[in-house]
A and B are shown apart, each in its own frame.
Chain A
Amino acid sequence: MNFANLSAGWVVAGIAGLAALLYALQRLRVRHRQVTVVTTLFWRVAAEEAPARRFVERFRHPWAYALILLIVSLLWLAFAGPQLAQTDGGSFHVLVLDGSAGMAAGSRYQDAVAALKNQVRHLAADQRQVVWSGGGVRTLLNPGEHELLLEKRLAGLAPEAAPAGVENLLRQLGASSRPGRATDVVIFGDAPVRPESLALSPNLSVARAPISTRQTGRNTGITALGVAEAESGAWDRVDVFVRVENDQKGAAAPDALRIDLDGRDIPATELRAVRGDAAKGFLLQDLPAAGGLLTVRLTAEDSLPLDNVARIRLPDKPKLKVQLSPSLDRVLRLVLAADPAIQITEAGAKVVIRKQGENVGASLPALEFVMSQGSRPAFLITHPAKLDSTAVFNQAVKAIGLKEIDAMSLAQTARRPVEVTVGTGPQWRIEVWQELLSEEFNFTRSRAFPLFIANSVRWLADTRSGYPFVAAGRPLASETLEMGDRVVDGQGRMLDPLGVPFVPERAGEIKMENSARPLAVSLLDPASTVGLVGAASNLPQPGSVGLATNPVTWLLVLALGLLGVEWYLYQTSRVP
């Protein structure tokens, strides 16, 4: 048996102290009640007169002493908070406190915390673990730790602007649980758990603690905020998509939103409902793609404030300044001029297109047409020596669109293999056979040629299109960059060193390796916004320790019963 409030030593010491105190009180001379009677004749006959005034008396009432000692011991034990070991075969309990955004509505979080504390009290310390599942997973109470630590660790916690991650946690628990040992998972919150997720972890017994489902009020939230290329075709402009949902299945009015770009308000009149239906979302068109921070807010307050604001960092898409060698002007000018992202200029160019040996563009990244002498490959990609050639090759093949080129036709015409090779050099460069520009190869008239030129120039200029959609709990993905930026912490250390897609845990900001402007992360979780009440009822309730099985209850009942017995004995003059 464990005790919630006191150690076993304190319990024993307390009972011993109470016994000693009661013994001393028993020996102290009692204060007699004054009663005047007609005569003391018969009382003197009935009993010997009590001894004269003394500080202590003989121990006179052992049964009364035993009774009162039993009563105070029971009360002391009840105060100590005894906990019976669970009789469910010693299964291990993982208590998961849902700290996702949906728990911020109403008092559900407080209810969940109260239920969690109650459950912790009734479990043996070495058979339970408490885990926080909010923006991330955090252990609140390890097996064996005293439950008083839980109060301290919960002190600074509150629901985070993050989607429910309980399913991911269940998968981790299912993978890490030891075979042959039952693990009972109890979720304190309303994070949805799909049956498919339960099927992936057959060795887990998952239950959901009952939490009051009181009405939390209506809620409206921003569930989508994304960026796309401008429908107008302008390279340095983007369109922004906003979707607002509520739990009443109604559409939001444009004036319910307040939008600003880097602090400059954008009138609601610029919002246009998608296909005329506000329920499908709104479009903001032709916003400048200059890396600004767009903030969308809901003006009305509701039960869940975490989804009332969303931010997104717009991409920075200046026109690509390309210096074109005069020797290639005839072949490439029209191709380059047709690309809205490219501006042919000599001043401030970022990429140069030239023939081998020309002194144009100096050390700029270059698309260079070379003579196909010897074993020179058709396409040679040169990169700085610090990078991995394989990675550069894979990324470049896809980014430049080499697969779109009819290499077989080129090889037949050239009567030699058409190869792509990666090498190292002082600067970024793509070397291409100059002969491919001739009429003989028919390359310049193919559909792949303008694409090859446009992609090569963008790749050499290291053009980054930005992140169209950055939401908590979803992998960070880019439209065009496979290598992408690395997410770093405040000290510049990479948070995703293995290069796997980074998943922002909660709304806020994340810093990118090569950018001074942090990315904005928003909640954008329809489940949190719409599925507020009773998000999932497919899980059973845990076997709770109720009043009837609470040892404290029985101790108090027993003490009360003994007090009744003492009262009866007192009334019948069997105890003083």
Chain B
Amino acid sequence: MAATVTFDELFDPDFLTALSRWSLNAKRVAGGGRHGERLSRDLGSGIEFKDYRPYSAGDDLRAIDWNLYRRLGKVFVRLFEVEEDLPIYLMPDISGSMFLTDSGPPSVIAALRSTLALATVGLNHHDAAGLFPFSDRLQVISKPKSGHTQIMTFAKHLARLAEPGPRIETRLVTSLERLASLNLRRGLLVLVSDFFDPGGIEAIREALRPIRHRMLFVQLVRRSDAEPTLQGDVRLTDCESGDAADLTITPKILARYRAAYAKFNEDLADIARRRQAHLLKIDIEGDLIEQLSRLFEDGGYRI
């Protein structure tokens, strides 16, 4: 494993320009955020009238509708729409498997570029993007912040994540549990990973239960995962754990492998479906913009 992507490669102007036509469309966002372009579930001091409600102690006296009081003899206050930002929590996988180069380019390139792309789309529309990379644990690199200037900061953070380091295992379940404990404002959680947690797909399903965010699953795949080209007597070594398995590759074993891999994908799709989330498969050897464009088919991704 070696260094795979540099800052310049990540912060490619052409790449970022291609993202400018895309946007995230959310009906309403949770309240408590900063001023943004999304309608909040909160009602407050906006300019567009929304509703009335009876006056209660502590309400702003400027919101009392005195005309209505004259007609009905009861005190009501006017409520207005509030526009806030959408918090986007980006969780790229930076475990050892992301850096494996034995059978093609490392997945970390596609992972980091996908993360940057989605963060940029949000930041372009005054949303807040936070970076929470994970491997054997969740790191909080940057809590959600908005503003165009954050794009540069985000790219620098991601470039540092691409530097080679010790082989680290994937602990997605642990990381999700940690994320849930942060009590973050509800927003969009983008999970960028191959989802090869040693606990299996069912452990991931359980770990996602306490997560209240809307979710976007970005699955990084490579052709050799689905159609391995191994043959003969081989010793397979897990790039993260170092565990070895001696196998004689036969058509029967290959068929079983394909079946196991297909079941894993079906389970992951089922998780996404049950959470009403989108599952985007990114072929790490394919064109990233083209693959991301499937997510923004009408120019915007409806959350």
Q: Interface of A with B (CB < 8 Å)?
A: 30-47, 49-51, 60, 570-574, 576
Contact = CB atoms under 8 A, between A and B. Distances in A.
Nearest to B101: A36
B246 A576 contact: no
Given A36-B102, A46-B253, 5 more contacts: A33-B233, A41-B200, A46-B256, A47-B253, A49-B247
11 contacts: A31-B233, A34-B234, A36-B237, A38-B100, A39-B196, A40-B236, A50-B245, A50-B247, A60-B248, A573-B232, A573-B250
A44 to B, nearest CB: 6
B45 interface: no
B205 interface: no
Across the A-B interface, give the 3 residue pairs with the lowest CB-CB distance, nearest first: A50-B246, A46-B256, A32-B235
Contact of A38 (B225, B243, B260): B225
A49 B244 CA distance: 9
B236 A41 contact: no
Interface string B228-259: 00111111111110010111111101101101
Contacts of A43: 236, 245, 247, 253, 257
A571 B246 CA distance: 20
A570 to B, nearest CB: 7
Interface in B87-134: 97, 100, 102-103, 107
B301 interface: no
Interface in B182-240: 194, 196, 198, 200, 222, 225, 230-240
Contacts of A38: 97, 100, 107, 194, 196, 222, 225, 239
Contact of B247 (A41, A47, A574): A47
A53 to B, nearest CB: 9
Interface of B: 97, 100, 102-103, 107, 194, 196, 198, 200, 222, 225, 230-240, 243, 245-251, 253-254, 256-257, 259-261, 264
Nearest to B170: A39
Given A37-B239, A42-B257, A46-B253, A30 B233 contact: yes
B198 A573 contact: no
A30 B249 CA distance: 13
A35 B100 contact: no
Contacts of B230: 35, 573
Max chain B C-beta neighbours (<10 A), residue from A33, A47, A50:
A47
A159 B250 CA distance: 65
Contact of B233 (A32, A42, A51): A32
Contacts of B232: 33, 570, 573, 576
B231 A570 contact: yes
Contact of B237 (A34, A46, A51, A574): A34
A572 B251 contact: yes
Contacts of A51: 246
A44 B253 CA distance: 10
Contacts of A39: 97, 194, 196, 198, 238-240
B253 A32 contact: no
Contacts of B97: 38-39
A35 B236 contact: yes
A35 B239 contact: no
B104 to A, nearest CB: 10
Contacts of A40: 236-238, 243, 245
B259 to A, nearest CB: 8
B147 to A, nearest CB: 36
A45 B238 CA distance: 14
Nearest to A60: B248
A37 B236 contact: yes
A36 B246 contact: no
Contact of A50 (B238, B240, B248): B248
A171 B131 CA distance: 109
A114 to B, nearest CB: 45
Contacts of A572: 251
Max chain B C-beta neighbours (<10 A), residue from A38, A42, A49, A51:
A38
A34 B235 contact: yes
Contacts of B261: 42
A12 to B, nearest CB: 32
Given A42-B257, A45-B260, A32 B246 contact: yes
B198 to A, nearest CB: 7
Contacts of B200: 41
Contacts of B238: 36-37, 39-40
A37 B249 CA distance: 14
Given A41-B200, A46-B260, A50-B246, A36 B100 contact: yes
A535 B100 CA distance: 78
A44 B238 CA distance: 11
Contacts of A45: 256-257, 260
A41 B102 contact: no
